[in-house]
Structures are given as structure tokens and as C-alpha cells.
Amino acid sequence: MTSPSIIDVLNSQFGINGRLHFELGEGELPMAKITTEQATAVLSIYAGHVLSFVPNGSDDLLWVSQEAIFQSGKAIRGGIPVIWPWFGPHPNDSTKSSHGFARRQMWSVKASMVDENGRVSLTLGLTENEASKAVWSHDFDLELVVTVGHVLTVKLKTTNSGDVPFSYTAALHTYYNISHISQVVIHGLENGAYLDNLEAHASKQQVGFVRFDEEVDRIYIDTAADCHIEDEGHKRTIVVEKSGSQSTVVWNPWIEKAKRMSDFGDNEYQEMVCVETANAGNEIITLQPEETAVMTLTISERKA
Ligand code: TA6
């Protein structure tokens, strides 16, 4: 009698007939496949990583590189990487991986449910472990609650489960699927102050809507605003709503940086844009023991 596989255990404990099942996907990593009356979604349990959200009759709202690497210890290029507990380079140790460790570890499945409206929720978790302790000394309880209906809601809950305060920065580093970067206009950040990552975090101010004709890498600060990604080519606007986030990061690598990334196709900069729900730059969150902070992202589509 062979012992049940991780997939068998997940399906028996958390599977929901016709709504949620688990299977091995790319890189033999455990994936959750969610099907509702309104949309489908795919999540990688590894990295706590939403990969796809497809409202019925629409194109995927999320983008994943054709060159993405699905391998333990590596970050998946696309979808919604969970950037935690530091955004960007480690604040004082360049030997530590950029954008924290949460997107490079196996998470656990904690709960699943269908609500009265047919929305399916899946809760994934991550707590301190030997690998995290090697780069960050604190005890923590991280939860990702993903709810799939006609909109996608992603809640990132951070709890300080230790006995000393800790500070962190974070992002839901979302890659959105667009028709062509020249067709996209981002509304919601007009007149906003931002730090330009291409000029050593120089402070600047947004003039008008955000458009793209070169590499863009900006942390918009002090903004709780929703963003609308208007995409003429796909004849839709992707609506990005948030709470518990005071920064929005906008990134497109453009031509030269795209060529330098091994897990990113040379021309793929044309079909994606990152609008990231974050607390980054000078938006540092400090939690006392037993305190919890929640950052929420809601993604929806509005057809033209
Ligand atoms: O969010 C923008 C950014 O910080 C860019 O500077 C770029 O590095 C991007 O994240 C991707 O980072 P990654 O570590 O996933 O290659």
C-alpha cells in the first residue's frame, strides 16, 4: 500500500467537488485549480502564488512569462508574486535575495470554502522556518486568502507571532496581461509623488496619466488610490482596487532589461505591465507582538 501523495492528501482535505481540486503542475509543483460560475483561477501552493484569473468569456487578467521557471527556490515570473518581508534589495545586506523570501518557499494549505454566492476561497499559510530564520530572525504568521468570483480578491495577512516588534515592507507584485504596452494608459496616479528606481529613488511627480515609451520603475508613495489599466487593444479596463496599501509600484522593463532577464522573453515587455499593491519605499509597517496587518487587492475587468 503506497502512502497517499501530497495531491491525494490536499484533495481529500481541501478539495471541493467541481469547484476546487489540486494537481501537480509546471515543475511538478502542487497547483490549485478553481472553477466558479463566473471565473477560473490557478494558484501555485509553492510561493503562495496566484498564476491565473480568467473571468468567463475574457482573456486572463494575469500574465506569466513563457520563460517562467517553476522550481523550488526560484521566483515565478508572472502572476502575483508575494513580496515579503522586504521590497527590493534587502535594506542592509545585498547578499540576501531581492524581494524577500516568501515567493521562494513552499506554503501550506490552511482552508478552503465556497460561500453562499458560489465564490471559492482558498487560504494558504507560511510561518518562520529554518530557511527564513537564516535571513530574517523573526517569528511570523503569513496568510494569503484568495477569493474567486466575478472579481479576484487577494488578502495578505501579516501577524507578528514573536515577542518583539518587527518592521517589513511588502507587495502583491502583480503582472497584468495587456494587448500591447503602447496601448495602455494607467489612471489613478495623476499628480502623485513617486520615487524613480531608475534614478536612485529620485523624488518626482507624475504629470498626467502613466504611459509607456521606455523602461518605467516607480514607487508611487502616499497613495491609497485605485488604478485603472485602460487597454485599448483588449477593449477593456482592468480595475485594481486596494486597501491596507500606501504605495503603488509601476514597472515595465522595456527592451534592454527584458533582454537581461533569463526568465523573461526579449519581446515580452510588450504584453505585460506590473501595477503592484504595496507598502514599499518609506512606507514601512511595524507590528507589535500579536499584531496583524492586512493588505487587500481586488482585480476586476470592465469591458469597453
Ligand atoms: O517592482 C519593480 C521591481 O522592483 C523592478 O526593479 C524589477 O527588479 C522587478 O521588481 C522584478 O524583480 P525580480 O526580483 O522579480 O526580478
Give the per-residue SS3 of 32-79: EEEECCCEEEEEECECCEEEEEEECCCCCCECECCCCCCCCCCCCCEC
Ligand 1 is surrounded, with C-beta below 6 A, by 75, 88, 98-99, 173, 197, 217, 249, 251, 274, 276
Burial 137-172 (b: 16+ CB within 10 A, else e): ebbbbbbbbbbbbebbbbbbbbbbbbeeebebbbbb
Active site (annotated) includes residue 173? yes
Instruction: Please tell me the distance between residue 88's alpha carbon and the centre of ligand 1 in angstroms.
Output: 7
Specify whether 138 is catalytic.
no
pTM (predicted TM-score): 0.98
Asked if pLDDT for residue 2 goes beyond 80, the answer is no
For 158-169, the pLDDT digits (tens) are: 999 999 999 999
Q: What's the one-letter identity of residue 63?
A: W
Pocket test for ligand 1, best of 217, 257, 276 (most atoms within 8 A of CB): 217
Domain limits, the chain = 6-303
Average pLDDT over residues 3-7: 91
State yes or no: pLDDT of 140 exceeds 90: yes
Look up the CATH number of domain 6-303: 2.70.98.10
User: Which CA distances in Å does 195 have to 81, 170, 216, 255?
Assistant: 21, 16, 11, 21
Q: Taking residues 100-126, what's their average pLDDT?
A: 98
Please report the atom of ligand 1 found closest to the CA of residue 261. Answer: 16
Element (H or E) spanning 287, and its range? strand 285-287
Supply the mean pLDDT for the chain: 97
The predicted-structure confidence for 22-65, as pLDDT tens digits, reads as follows 999 999 999 999 999 999 999 999 999 999 999 999 999 999 99
Written as nine digits, the cell of 65 is 512569462
pLDDT over 70 for what percent of the chain? 100
Give the number of the atom of ligand 1 that is nearest the alpha carbon of residue 99: 14
Residue nearest to atom 8 of ligand 1 (CA): 88
pLDDT for residue 245: 98
